[in-house]
Amino acid sequence: MRRKTIMRYDKKAKELRAEILKMLYACQSGHPGGSLSCVEMLMALYYEVMKVDPKNPKDPDRDRFVLSKGHACPTLYAILADLGYFPKEDLAGLRQIDSHLQGHPDCTKTPGVDMNTGSLGQGASLAMGLALAAKHAGADYKVYTVLG
């Protein structure tokens, strides 16, 4: 990776961490350690590896992502907002009643979230199921997961 790219990503990681801390402080609850520890992993996936399109979040050919450690969702939310899946202003609603940004990812409410998660470890089997479904259907998308 070029030095300029590394510097740009270092700056972006700091911005995302600031957003995560603002979200957690505003709602006075959450898991800062789990959220802050996976920033670079999710950045690498969403900014460099995965095939996703914020303008078409349900594209059947998109890659899938399962955040098995669902309590780290502030990181996922900050990245999805940065990519344009929803307005950055929505981040202030983390864990608020009627917000689409709850304490664990919910694919029925949050654009860009592929799978509901919560219980640690369940994401491995969910990701495996998604991958097997893709293989069975002859689909070309990939499935990624982060376990905690």
Q: Whole-angstrom Cα distance, residue 67 to residue 102?
A: 14
pTM of the model: 0.94
Which residues, other chains included, contact 3 with Cβ-Cβ below 8 Å and sequence gap of 6+? Answer: none
**How high is the pLDDT of residue 26?**
92
pLDDT at res. 120: 78
Q: What is the pLDDT of residue 4?
A: 85
Tokens of 17: 């961490």
Q: Decide if 45 contacts 144 (C-beta within 8 A).
A: yes
Low-confidence ranges of the chain (pLDDT < 70): 1
